[in-house]
Structure 1
Amino acid sequence: MNEEELQQIEANVSLAIDRLGPVSDVDFGLNEESVEWVDGFIERQRARPDFDLERIGGLVGVLGSFLGACIVAATGGSWRWSEEDGWGVLLPDGTVAFPFVKVRKQFRDGAEEGESIAGFYRVAVDYIATGKLREAREGGA
């Protein structure tokens, strides 16, 4: 794990809160309401005539860091590095959520193709981290 990269993730989270909080209409922070606002923000960016998927790497980094921090705050998870998949959030049930991948997918494919960071957040927090998804798969729910 690279401590410098973790510090960059933390800096990205602060940047997201500092820049997006004042322009949002919600109590912006590490919460579901803010994730939903950012979900809409991504869709609004995709709709811009000058939107260029090739030029959003920095934005994916900032928003992925923010999404991951929201999941960490809600679940008590922690950031983990994977050689195959990069940075993810280790959830209490042992699975890993990859917020940067999801942000990039929503930018690429959009909500109309089923890519939503708000949905990703809810599934990670309400079903995966709690073990409810595993229980349902095993027939216990």
Structure 2
Amino acid sequence: MEHHILANAELVRKVAAEQLDTVVQYDEAGVRWLDRYIDGQRENASTDVRAKLPNTLGSFLGECIRQTYGGQWVEDSTHGWQVKINDGVSVFPFNKVAKHLANEDGDSVLGLFTAIPGMIDFASKQAGAAGSNSKAGDRPWWRFW
């Protein structure tokens, strides 16, 4: 399956170059382009086309994440394919693209991409705190006190 994911990611790059005259790489600039592209597809694409986009666009998003932050493609039996960056951080690019296509606000693929360094940092601190048996390591992530 990973072979299909990589082929879909390359298909996005090929279509962008050949049909949209835009060269995109697997980096933040590529995700910025993807964010705008999804916004346009949400407004203009048919329901049939929107239903097919998460597979190809999610592959591209996942490769941008994997090649920028590291990690590997892993299949989760409950939630589908994910990019597992480390033991504390995994993201689900196909699900994120589907949410972005469905919702105008709050589900940006760019928002996810730019939040990953903070997630990595937080997971690293949590792992360090858990290793030292600190009380902070026992708190849920959403508690700041």
TM-score range, shorter chain: 0.7 to 0.9
Question: Which residue of 2, 8, 11 corresponds with 1:12?
Answer: 8
Q: How does 1:42-61 map to 2 (within 5 A)?
A: 42-48=38-44, 51-52=46-47, 54-61=48-55
Letter in 2 for 1:82: D
CA RMSD of aligned residues (A): 2.2
CA distance in 2, matches of 1:61, 1:24: 22
Measure how far apart 1:133 and its partner are: 6.0
Q: Is the 8 Å Cα contact of residues 17 and 24 (structure 2) preserved in structure 1?
A: yes
Is 1:115 the counterpart of 2:107? The answer is yes
Q: Is the 8 Å Cα contact of residues 54 and 98 (structure 2) preserved in structure 1?
A: yes
Measure how far apart 1:76 and its partner are: 1.2
Q: Is the 8 Å Cα contact of residues 24 and 37 (structure 1) preserved in structure 2?
A: no
Q: How does 1:101-140 map to 2 (within 5 A)?
A: 101-110=95-104, 113-124=105-116, 126-129=117-120, 131-132=121-122, 135=125, 137=141
CA 1:120–1:71: 2 relative to 1, 3 Å: same
Q: Please give the per-residue CA displacement for 1:40-95, whole angstroms capped at 9, x wherever unaligned.
A: 011111122x532x542331101000000010001111111100000000012532
CA 1:24–1:107: 2 relative to 1, 3 Å: farther
Letter in 2 for 1:63: L
Measure how far apart 1:20 and its partner are: 1.3
- Name the counterpart of 2:90: 96
Q: How does 1:15-94 map to 2 (within 5 A)?
A: 15-22=11-18, 23=20, 25=22, 27-48=23-44, 51-52=46-47, 54-94=48-88
CA distance in 2, matches of 1:47, 1:55: 12
Unaligned 5+ runs, structure 2: 127-140
Letter in 2 for 1:75: Y
Measure how far apart 1:30 and its partner are: 0.2
Which has more radius of gyration?
2
TM-score by length of 1: 0.80
CA 1:24–1:34: 2 relative to 1, 3 Å: farther
Identical residues among aligned pairs (%): 29
Unaligned 5+ runs, structure 1: none
Q: Is the 8 Å Cα contact of residues 88 and 123 (structure 2) preserved in structure 1?
A: no
